């Protein structure tokens, strides 16, 4: 289960991050991993090695902006969506829902494909 779960995760990580930021407004990296873990009841755990490249890429694409703030004596980097990022978030989530619907249909037992049986 674990390796293939990671494989599925890789394609949806952007969507997850955008969706969470659209809901919460402003989050830092560790907060995102914890939010994902809590919501999926521990089924999906993000490592920093998977999360930060995605955050950085989204920032490069102009979908996220960052601000650094000092919390408890150390710098913390907060991410939030740009207006363009909010649009992409909505788009991605609806695309993903369509995809999941298609997958559900695909996983159903075929209705009456085998006339001979």
Partner 1 sequence: MQKLSTAQIKQLHDHLIRQGASDALLYELLDHLICEVEHYMWIGLPFEAALDKVLLEASHTAVHYLNQTYQTAMDADAMRGATLDDIVFEFRNKYYGAYDLRQSYRLSLLNALLLGIGAFLMLVVWVAAFNQRSFSYLSPLGLLWLVGVSCVGVAVGSWFLHNLRQRYMEIS
Work out whether 96 is an interface residue with partner 1 (CB under 8 A): no
Half-sphere exposure of 34 (CA within 13 A, CB side): 5
Work out whether 52 is an interface residue with partner 1 (CB under 8 A): yes
| Contact region with partner 1 (CB under 8 A), list: 7-15, 27-35, 85-93, 95-103 | 27-35
Q: Closer CB to partner 1, residue 55 or residue 88?
A: 55
Measured from the CB of residue 76, what is the shortest distance to partner 1 in angstroms?
5
Work out whether 19 is an interface residue with partner 1 (CB under 8 A): no
**26 contact partners, CB below 8 Å, separation of at least 6:** 78, 79, 80
Q: Closer CB to partner 1, residue 80 or residue 86?
A: 80
Please say whether the dihedral angle defined by the alpha carbons of residues 90, 94, 97 and 99, taken in this order, is positive or negative: negative
Q: 37 in helix, strand or coil?
A: helix
């Amino acid at each position: 289960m674990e390796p293939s779960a990671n494989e599925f995760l890789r394609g949806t990580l952007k969507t997850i991050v955008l969706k969470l930021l659209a809901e919460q407004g402003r989050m830092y990296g560790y907060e995102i991993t914890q939010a994902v873990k809590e919501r999926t009841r521990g089924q999906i755990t993000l490592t920093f090695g998977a999360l930060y490249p995605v955050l950085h890429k989204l920032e490069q694409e102009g979908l996220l902006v960052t601000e650094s703030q000092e919390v408890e004596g150390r710098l913390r980097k907060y991410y939030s969506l740009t207006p363009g990022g909010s649009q992409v978030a909505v788009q991605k989530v609806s695309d993903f829902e369509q995809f999941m619907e298609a997958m559900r249909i695909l996983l159903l037992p075929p209705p009456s494909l085998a006339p001979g049986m």
